[in-house]
């Protein structure tokens, strides 16, 4: 049984896997890790392996806890991966993006694949039909755009996301939401169209915390999978167990 830990910019995502099957997933604040880990281990005492992916630098306390209780793999630039990484600066590539491409390599090994992760940032990652990762793009996420509108202006308020927003906003708040939500949806559709023009038989995966709100607005055909990153981390762990 595997414990998957992904430490992101805004929260910790975790899951318990039995082989390739996800048994339960969790989202919790970074500072609640020790408390949450103890509960997970109590509920699933069969956990023997773990993998840690993090976008923050200091995870020494988490690593110590996991090493004491499991056989720990820490995802890094030298980790053995189930795809060829052609990224020019692999040492700067986010670990979450490695995990997403690993999931793509498992599920869509002979397919041109665009993975869109809608979280704090929106990342675009492309893997070709030869199972080679070529790179992608990074764009501000929904919350980041709303915060930027407030931070860099004198009068625009700090607002929360709402789903049911029309194209024409009849108030400042609705105008901001329309600009951000419809703007991002148009951005995604435009980028997808450009990939489709260059690569035939393209499969698109949309994942991340804002999957639900964006999947309803993107016109291009996509597969929504909010657990794609966790599945990729589990696959990397299984892939490295045999070494």
How many angstroms separate the Cα of 126 from the Cα of each of 98, 186, 196?
11, 19, 12
Q: Whats the size of the chain, residue-wise? A: 243
Q: What are phi and psi of 14, to 5 degrees?
A: -145, 160
Of 207, 14, 230, give the one whose Cα is nearest residue 103: 230
Strand partners, 52: 5, 74
Residue 210 labelled as part of a binding site: no
Asked if residue 97 belongs to a known ligand binding site, the reply is yes
Q: Is 9 annotated as a binding residue?
A: yes
Q: Is 8 flagged in the annotation as binding?
A: yes
70 is in an annotated binding site: no
Task: Give the closest residue to 157 by CA, choosing from 167, 144, 147.
Answer: 147
The reply to whether 203 sits in an annotated binding site is no
In contact, 125 and 213? CB cutoff 8 Å: no
Residue 87 among known ligand-binding residues: yes
Say which residues have a Cβ less than 8 Å from residue 113's Cβ, sequence separation at least 6: 104, 126, 127, 128, 202, 203, 204, 205
According to the annotation, is 147 in a ligand binding site? no
7 annotated ligand binder:
yes
Q: Any known ligand binding at 101?
A: no
Of the candidates 43, 58, 96, 189, the residue annotated as catalytic is 96
* Residue 30, number of CB atoms within 10 A of its CB: 15
Question: Has 125 been annotated as catalytic?
Answer: no
Question: Using only C-alpha atoms, what is the Rg of the chain?
Answer: 19
Active site positions, annotated: 96
Binding site: what residues are annotated? Answer: 6-13, 87, 94-97, 117, 120, 172
Annotated binding site for ATP: 6-13, 120
Residues annotated within the binding site for K(+) are 117
Q: Which residues are annotated as a binding site for substrate?
A: 87, 94-97, 172
């Amino acid at each position: 049984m595997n414990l998957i830990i992904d430490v992101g910019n805004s929260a910790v995502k975790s899951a318990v896997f039995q082989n390739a099957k996800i048994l339960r997933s969790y989202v919790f604040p970074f500072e609640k890790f020790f408390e949450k880990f103890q509960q997970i281990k109590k509920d699933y005492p069969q956990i023997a392996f773990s993998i840690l992916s993090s976008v923050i630098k200091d995870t020494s306390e988490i690593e110590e806890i996991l090493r004491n209780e499991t056989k720990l793999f820490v995802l890094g630039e030298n980790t053995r991966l189930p795809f060829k990484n052609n990224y020019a600066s692999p040492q700067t590539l986010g670990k979450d993006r490695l995990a997403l491409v690993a999931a793509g390599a498992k599920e869509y090994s002979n397919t041109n694949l665009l993975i869109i992760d809608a979280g704090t940032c929106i990342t675009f990652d492309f893997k070709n039909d030869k199972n080679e990762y070529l790179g992608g793009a990074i764009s501000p996420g929904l919350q980041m755009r709303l915060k930027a509108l407030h931070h860099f202006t004198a009068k625009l308020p700090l607002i929360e996301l709402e789903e049911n927003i029309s194209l024409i906003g009849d108030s400042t708040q609705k105008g901001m939401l329309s600009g951000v939500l419809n703007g991002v949806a148009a951005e995604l559709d435009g980028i997808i169209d450009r990939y489709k023009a260059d690569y035939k038989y393209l499969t698109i995966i949309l994942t991340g915390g804002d999957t639900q709100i964006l999947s309803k607005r993107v016109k291009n055909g996509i597969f929504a999978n909010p657990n794609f990153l966790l599945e990729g981390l589990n696959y990397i762990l299984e892939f490295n167990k045999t070494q």
